[in-house]
Amino acid sequence: MSAIAKGVRKARSRFGGRLEPFFRLDLVLYEGRSDLLTVTSAETVAAHPRLREHAAALDGAARACEAVARIFDDGDPHAGVYHLLANELSLLDRDPARAGRANALAFRLKLLLAAGFAPQLAACAGCGEREHLVGFSGAAGGVVCGACEASAFTLDEDAHAFMVAALARPLAEAPAAEPRALGQAERAIIDTLEHHAHLRLRPVGSR
């Protein structure tokens, strides 16, 4: 939703500096004749002050918000996505050292799941084979076996394991992985989004 807050730059604004990025707020919005709603009151639910003191956490928060806005731009409510984002912001605030590539990729995998694009990871997306899964194909929609790998790229076992664990565990317990595995997991997410949502997100960064 898009909304406007009037008089927010005045020193005595009733919003008192609450309408800042990455605040979680309880807003009252007024729907007038314009396309923009008007903010009539704002109460802070969580200000996330520690998140703001760490460049990596700020960057992770910005990319998380951007990914949500790009994938879910239909204006419909998505309670699961809202809670996932609230959880990510609160995690980055509680433990800013967690910001980094593994956390960002785990978040995106959960976002894919919420959007209905979760990649198939348990068996070959082409033929259902459960062994010898050697690649990932965005077109096929998940991991593929040696016989079905035409449009796939190589997916190592540890990249596969990272994706399975990142989807299965809470965000705060997302696994770590080597840069090579994280690179493959990121490519899998990118290919999935390109094929199923026709959009490309900014890379998660190299930390």
Q: At closest approach, how far in Å is the CB of 145 from Zn ion?
A: 4
Interface with Zn ion: number of residues (CB under 5 A): 6
Nearer to Zn ion, 56 or 159 (CB): 159
Q: Smaller CB distance to Zn ion: residue 137 or 192?
A: 137
Q: Does 124 bind Zn ion (CB under 5 A)?
A: yes
Residue appearing with tokens 């050697």: 134
Is the CB of 84 or the CB of 134 nearer to Zn ion?
A: 134
Q: Which range binds Zn ion by CB under 5 A, 15-23, 24-32, 63-71, 140-148?
A: 140-148
CB of 162 to Zn ion, least distance (A): 21
CB 117, min distance to Zn ion, A: 20
Q: Residues near 188 by Cβ (< 8 Å), separated by ≥ 6?
A: 119, 136, 138, 155, 159, 163
Q: Of residues 36, 127, 150, 168, which one binds Zn ion by CB under 5 A?
A: 127
Report the site for Zn ion in 141-200 (rule: CB under 5 A): 145, 148
Nearer to Zn ion, 95 or 129 (CB): 129
Nearer to Zn ion, 64 or 145 (CB): 145
Binding site for Zn ion (CB under 5 A): 124, 126-127, 129, 145, 148
